[in-house]
Amino acid sequence: MKKHNKKCVISLVALCLIAAGHWACSNGSVGTSDDPNQVVASIRGVVEKGPFVKGTTVTLYELSPETFAQTGKTFAAAVEGDDGSFSLGGVELGSQYVLLDATGYYWNELSGERSTKPLTLRAIAHIKEKDKVNVNIGTSIIYKRILDLVENGLGFDGAKGQAESELMEAFFGEEEGIEFEKASILDNEHLLALSQVVLSAGAESEIIEIIATLAKNLKDSTALVTLADRSAMKYEYGKSVRSFMENRFPYAEIGPFEKYAIAFWRHIYGLDPCVKGNVGVLDTIHASKSENDGRIVICKAVENDYRWEMATDVEIATVDIEPDSDGTIHFVKKIGYVYDGEGWRKATEREITIGKGCIEKIVGAVAVTEEDDYVCRKKGEEYVWTQASIFDFTKDSFFNENVKYDSVQDKRDGHAYRTVKIEDRTWMAENLSYVVDGAHCKDSLTVGCLYMWSMALDLVKDETLKDTNQGLCMDGWHVPDTTEWNALLNSNKYADLLSKVGWLVGDNNRTGFSAVPSFYTLENASLYDIANYSYRENGYTQFIAVDKARKSDSYSERGFMVEFVFNRVSVNLWEKERNQNPDDMLDYAALRCVKDSE
């Protein structure tokens, strides 16, 4: 009977062992009730820096649930997908805690190229029957911190949650953590931003070193500040990463990771967000170990975005000055600044001399100084004061606003001229602008035309002087003779006859006669080539006259060309023998008509 019972006992034990063995080997079932840590698991995930290349080995190490030391049981798989994906199926474990390790080459999201050196990333996880465990920068930085917290008595899940929160606070100033082993750069903006920030460390060897340093101490201030210095204001990095991600993973919807990459260095530097309401505001970087510590930054509107950028000396000096649009020069510590419509800049020496900045809004404006006259022009992409031409002045600027002018209209072309009465004669207060063949009328509405002497007298070849001096003047007016010119000059000072602009001396134009520079004494100077030389230094004007004493002279005899020459210091009667070619350009002069006797 006892023998029979012994056989029964053996049979029962055998059945139990068979059943237990079947239980342990069945996929996805937890071990016996006496050992709840046992698990048969299927694990999938991705290995990402950027994505690790195909063929990268992913090794799973079983960890003791008590000590979290490796038990010696390992499983291996290989990256199979372009996105760094891998899978491990039917893994029989005596513990639900594992360490995943991946060493291989990866795609660099910043450069768009494959790394030339292998990188090791790790993740520690509490797994279930079917689980997703990704290996990435986040998991690699926090895995040692998790183990340290567990060693100090914190439960694994609590330790992992705390480490995740510490990473988010250290990098982004956020308290709420994320499960990095569940996150991917394809769907988590924080992780992609973290990846971009780490890539900014520089060369691959520096990336490896910075990851190792942060894994040892994720709050390492030197490492964090180094990353901040190398990523700060590098807005182009975000564009490069986005371009890589969208080209390589066109099916993925990449979120606004850029704002978190910016939030990283802004957090390390102690800067508030740069938003619309802060444009133009200055702030100071406070990061004691940073190469940028103490530097001043400015919030700017750039490309439909708002960005912190390093402030220039000009921006720092002008931060409290209200922008204007008239070229006003503002002085700060004896340095002049001009607002050009887009921003502030230092005033040039010429602008300071003139007393106004040359900006787009005042292009064409003329400035008169003791040394010279200048006009604001666009030159290339800049706006600069350049030497003025007499044509840059408006006609109104030639006259004396305190003189009463009349006017006369030339019925031939409808042109109206200002006139002024000086003593007993009424003179045109501007040069004749009647256009005839052969006259030089570069800008007849401003300074009039220049005529040859014979042309002004309306003579043709071999024709003697006419009985009247009307010449090209309108009806009721004539070319002044030497007597009329001398009467004008004898009754007035030189400066009384000069226009208010264009001359070195006088410039009071008391009579309103308004003589303007129209020619050059420079040898070989082109007619009206006023833009290339200082007309105030070298220019003069010549007025055609008729000498009654030589009224019998004919054009064919070339007699004398009589002109009154207003040069830079005086007025002279110039009786020039026309023994040159009659068509020589140097024989051209301006014409002022005088009204016939009333």
Tokens representing residue 371 in the block: 């040394």
Q: Average pLDDT of the chain?
A: 85
- pLDDT of 502 reads 74
Sign, CA dihedral 39-45-49-51, equals positive
Pick the closest to residue 564 from 452, 492, 486, 464 (CA basis).
486
Contacts of 368 (CB under 8 A, 6+ apart): 501
Question: Is the CB of residue 95 less than 8 Å from the CB of residue 65?
Answer: yes
d(CA 214, CA 143): 10
With a threshold of 0.75, does the pTM exceed it? no
Going from the C-alpha of 176 to that of each of 52, 140, 154, 161, 549, the distances in angstroms are 28, 19, 19, 9, 107
Tokens representing residue 501 in the block: 């602009």
d(CA 104, CA 47): 10
DSSP letter at 345?
E
- pLDDT of 440 reads 83
Expressed in angstroms, the distance from the first to the final Cα of the chain is 167
Contacts of 236 (CB under 8 A, 6+ apart): none
Return the amino acid letter for 307: R
Q: Which residues does the chain have with pLDDT short of 70?
A: 1-36, 443-445, 461-464, 504-507, 519-540, 548-587, 598
DSSP letter at 505?
S
Question: Is the CB of residue 47 less than 8 Å from the CB of residue 102?
Answer: yes
d(CA 159, CA 172): 20
Question: Is the CB of residue 48 less than 8 Å from the CB of residue 135?
Answer: yes
- pLDDT of 113 reads 96
- pLDDT of 554 reads 45
Where in the chain are the domains?
Answer: 39-268, 276-311, 329-388, 395-595
Going from the C-alpha of 380 to that of each of 277, 349, 383, 530, the distances in angstroms are 34, 19, 8, 21
- pLDDT of 538 reads 57
Question: Is the CB of residue 211 less than 8 Å from the CB of residue 102?
Answer: no
d(CA 260, CA 265): 9
d(CA 466, CA 472): 12
d(CA 445, CA 528): 14
Angle at 541 between CA 407 and CA 454, to 5 degrees: 80
d(CA 493, CA 305): 65
Residue 102 host element (H or E): strand 97-104
d(CA 125, CA 564): 103
- pLDDT of 463 reads 67
Question: Is the CB of residue 533 less than 8 Å from the CB of residue 549?
Answer: no
295-333: per-residue pLDDT in tens? 999 999 998 899 999 999 999 999 999 999 999 999 999
- pLDDT of 563 reads 54
d(CA 573, CA 582): 20
For the residues of 359-384, what is the DSSP string, one character each?
-GGGTT-EEE-SS-EEEEEEETTEEE
- pLDDT of 584 reads 44
